[in-house]
A and B are shown apart, each in its own frame.
Chain A
Amino acid sequence: MNNNSFLDYYNIQDLNTAIHEALLSVMPQWLAILLEGLAVGLLIIVLYAVLAIILIYMERKVCARFQCRIGPNRVGGKGGLLQVPADVLKILTKEIISLKGSDRFLYNLAPFLVILASIFTFSCLPWNKGAEILRMNIGIFFVLAASSIGVLGILLAGWSSNSKYTIIGAVRSGAMIISYELSIGLTVLTMVLLSGTMDIQNIVMSQDRMWNIFRGHLPAVAAFIVYLIAGNAEANRGPFDLAEAEQELTAGYHTEYSGMHFGFFYLAEYLNLFITSGIAVTLFLGGWMPLHFPGLDGFNAVMDYIPGVIWFVSKTFLVVFLLMWIRWTFPRLRIDQVLTLEWKYLMPLSLLILLIMTVCVVFGITL
């Protein structure tokens, strides 16, 4: 049996319990839960905004490197660190315009639906042991369901803007996201099969000995690749960014949005990138689990002292970098090619992977 004591080094479950009990001692239970809920909500929003700023800064710097440029380097001293916060301040001061002939209610609702879907899924990410925000026994299923709300926002945004560019962008996005959810669902199922649970924390816990991508060897690696392609499409990023293909549709479904309403779409796009990577890390790369090699006990022990949250965030940013690399290298696909890729290649492939994984698990051919 493995020595799993390291799991408790940075467990903050005890801290949570202590805070809860301290609050209960001075106030009734409903007030305590309300206060905790507010605090957690605030935490999510702050974390969400901060991560978005980091991601945007990272994207600008990474893409600049790919493009033989320097990227932002003026605002905020060396490296342009304050460029993105300055942009955020600017966008907050911009007017939110209303359009002639638009469906006012749906037009205003759409960005909130997109950001809501994004925050729901964001809340499910396992940051550390005991540091999950939403935990339920069908956690990964909830992530899939909640992320589907986003496409509703995109469709509504495109339709309610009363513009031809936006409707084309929205329909493209709708067709693409609904298609690629199949592949995502199937690859997630493959990993659920391997881990034997749908609870996100338990999926991570099941990888304490070895990450799923190693444990499931061939089918898991194939599933990882399929997941990355489909996840990239879900996040509407290049080479699948045809919903907002600026060279064709100016800005696709959010062409007519301004100010912070546009900001929400922008924010959600970057956070969806983070979430896609976060789920990939959770399913395939062990979530907050440290890197372990069987046999190398000394190495493993050192790895155990690195807190889980650092593991999770650094692994996620690694996958984010991978996705940025893809985005800044490939040209864009065409809508029929996108759908052909999914329905003719990725979907049958993920079904096959699922089948192979089932056989592997049933006959115990996993590492």
Chain B
Amino acid sequence: MTVIEKIQKICPEAQVSTSGDTIVTVPSDSLAAVAEALRNDDQEPMDYLRDIVGMDWSEGLGALYYLESSKTYGRVVLKTVARDRDEAWLPSVCHWWRTAEIKEREIYDFFGIRFIGNPDMRRIFLREDWKGYPLRKDYDMDSNPLNMENEENADDTVEYYLKPDGTVEGHRNILFDQKDFVVNIGPQHPSTHGVLRMRTSLDGETISRIDPILGYIHRGIEKMNESLTYPQTLALTDRLDYLSAHQNRHALCMCIEQAMGLEVSRRVQYIRTIMDELQRIDSHLLFYSCLVMDMGGLTPFFYGFREREMILDIFEETTGGRLIQNYNVIGGVQADIHPTFQQKVKEFIKHLRSVIQDYHNIFTGNVIATTRLKGVGILTREQAISLGATGGTGRAAGWANDVRKHHPYALYGEVDFKEVLYTEGDSFARYMVRMDEIMESCHIIEQLIDNIPEGETRLKTKPIIKLPEGNFSASVETSRGEFGVMLESHGDKTPYRLHYRSTGLPLVHAMDTACRGNKIADLIAIGGTMDFVIPDIDR
């Protein structure tokens, strides 16, 4: 029995559309029943909620639920529309997937859909006194003039519930009470790796609650995308997770190419794969540096930067950019690789293999480092899946979630590499996953670097691209987890809606679970091993 048949058994009125991705539309009344059945299925439990995408169709507000099974890696997309546009509400699915707790807040913030049963229905990115819901198509752009007043953060939140007569009412949930000692970690703080703010409630040095406050650098990229042509949207992806710039853009290019039916050449596939892996090494080296510095070891910090500099030089020669490379384009890459590219990459990998032991000597085996990382900030496999903590964080808990392995794209289906898995789920495992992945990435590059075939590096495309109607999505494994592009086209030259699955948002959400009961110093170390990047969360 396929997933779609299962859904139709529970909810006979479910409709299937196959323009682009296969999407099953279920009425909002049956959403809870369908969600529960899919989540608790024996053969193929859809236990990983990849993302929820809020939508404003002209007929009403609604959401798309992208589900995946951690057992079979099968995927399904549910679509549901809220009944009333002005008083829109949907049932919350946070009982089955904890990551919905924060993603539903995002949809509430941008679309004004209230989720019944979500314990925390505050705005997440925008100010608490914001008027209107900006991602709705009828949002008045002048409704929120620049506000110079300080924002007061409420200490409580609202949970909505459905009364028997069908109306929605809210009751207060307390986040912090008068007795809590609440310390702001951020937004200007050396260890939050960007403008993230965590309201941290402390009992002595022990953390009793973390409430992340986001949106300090929110740029409204998803809203901007709705008025940009497809080639223009590419410019913004590098600005999301700047340490996965190349991979993010790869995902968007793949999504658009797939919608256009465009097949890129083998040469492009090779170059994209090599660049993705170089980017991953770059990011993981920075991860090492930052983690070590967060824990007070300032010397190893420079080790990581020394080697990262060499990657950036390689990037610069070929792409012209170091951090933001703008290299992938629809149909290929911006320019062919530099003549010395292959030789420099090989030299770099040889060099990295010879110095990586220094990294381990100064930090990995250090007694202080191991006692501070081992057994600290544990996320179990179930928690990681439920929280949607993909990437190294999930793999450290034993959740095999590598998109490269399970949904291969570019050349990942052809190269030999190991999916690094640990089972402890603690900070040390998260650290070791990244360190081992550096070596795996080197291994992948070595298989490809000498065999780059000749071919076109850039297919000619029209300057204005129109995609066929439908929903398209693509996902790649970025340096810190699964990055997804969810695109809805109505046949125009601009996307109707273009949503990015943030890799960092679930990780920030997981901080509360991982940190409770640990010390402030652990908060910093756990945050370091989670390895989130803020522009990717805020978008």
- A: residues with CB less than 8 A from B are 63, 66-69, 164-165, 168, 172, 238-239, 241-242, 245-250, 328-337
Q: Does B366 contact A (CB under 8 A)?
A: yes
Which residues of the partner chain A approach B297 to less than 8 Å between Cβ atoms? 329-332
A-B contact sample (10 more), CB < 8 A, given A247-B296, A332-B296, A334-B372: A168-B183, A239-B296, A247-B191, A247-B293, A247-B294, A329-B297, A329-B299, A331-B369, A332-B297, A332-B521
B251 to chain A minimum Cβ distance, whole angstroms, is: 32
Which residues of the partner chain A approach B296 to less than 8 Å between Cβ atoms? 238-239, 241-242, 245, 247, 330-332
Q: How many pairs of A and B residues are in contact by the CB < 8 Å rule? A: 81
- Cβ contact within 8 Å between B191 and A330: no
CA distance A165 to B191 in the complex (A): 14
Which residues of the partner chain A approach B191 to less than 8 Å between Cβ atoms? 247-248
A34 to chain B minimum Cβ distance, whole angstroms, is: 47
- B: residues with CB less than 8 A from A are 181, 183-184, 189-191, 202, 205, 292-299, 301-303, 306, 362-363, 366, 368-369, 371-372, 519-524
Contact of B299 among A66, A168, A172, A248 (CB under 8 A): A66
- Cβ contact within 8 Å between B368 and A330: yes
B363 to chain A minimum Cβ distance, whole angstroms, is: 7
Which residues of the partner chain A approach B189 to less than 8 Å between Cβ atoms? 250
* Smallest Cβ-Cβ distance to A66: which chain B residue: B299
- Cβ contact within 8 Å between B190 and A334: no
- Cβ contact within 8 Å between A67 and B524: no
* Smallest Cβ-Cβ distance to B183: which chain A residue: A164
CA distance A290 to B270 in the complex (A): 68
Which residues of the partner chain B approach A331 to less than 8 Å between Cβ atoms? 292, 295-297, 363, 366, 368-369, 372
Known: A239-B368, A331-B369. A168 touches B520 (CB 8 A): yes
Contact of B368 among A328, A333, A335 (CB under 8 A): A333
3 tightest Cβ-Cβ pairs between the two chains A and B: A332-B296, A331-B297, A331-B295
Which residues of the partner chain B approach A248 to less than 8 Å between Cβ atoms? 191, 520-521, 523-524
- Cβ contact within 8 Å between A332 and B295: yes
Contact of B302 among A69, A241, A245 (CB under 8 A): A69
* Smallest Cβ-Cβ distance to A330: which chain B residue: B368
* Smallest Cβ-Cβ distance to A245: which chain B residue: B296
Which residues of the partner chain B approach A335 to less than 8 Å between Cβ atoms? 205, 519, 521
- Cβ contact within 8 Å between A245 and B181: no
Which residues of the partner chain B approach A250 to less than 8 Å between Cβ atoms? 189-190
- Cβ contact within 8 Å between B520 and A332: no
* Smallest Cβ-Cβ distance to A337: which chain B residue: B371
CA distance A241 to B298 in the complex (A): 12
* Smallest Cβ-Cβ distance to A242: which chain B residue: B521
Interface centre among A241, A334, A335 (most CB of B within 10 A): A334
Which residues of the partner chain A approach B184 to less than 8 Å between Cβ atoms? 164
B526 to chain A minimum Cβ distance, whole angstroms, is: 12
Which residues of the partner chain B approach A249 to less than 8 Å between Cβ atoms? 520
- Cβ contact within 8 Å between A334 and B292: no
CA distance A337 to B371 in the complex (A): 9
Contact of A330 among B183, B366, B524 (CB under 8 A): B366
CA distance A168 to B523 in the complex (A): 15
* Smallest Cβ-Cβ distance to B202: which chain A residue: A168
A345 to chain B minimum Cβ distance, whole angstroms, is: 12
- Cβ contact within 8 Å between A247 and B524: yes
Interface centre among B363, B366, B368, B369 (most CB of A within 10 A): B368
- Cβ contact within 8 Å between B295 and A164: no
CA distance A268 to B320 in the complex (A): 48
* Smallest Cβ-Cβ distance to A329: which chain B residue: B299
- Cβ contact within 8 Å between B298 and A337: no
B370 to chain A minimum Cβ distance, whole angstroms, is: 10
Contact of B521 among A66, A164, A245 (CB under 8 A): A245
- Cβ contact within 8 Å between A334 and B366: no
Q: Could you give 28 example pairs across A and B, Cβ below 8 Å?
A: A67-B298, A68-B302, A69-B302, A164-B183, A168-B205, A168-B520, A241-B296, A246-B190, A247-B190, A247-B191, A247-B295, A248-B191, A250-B190, A328-B298, A329-B297, A329-B362, A331-B295, A331-B363, A331-B369, A332-B296, A332-B297, A332-B368, A333-B368, A334-B519, A334-B522, A335-B205, A335-B519, A336-B519
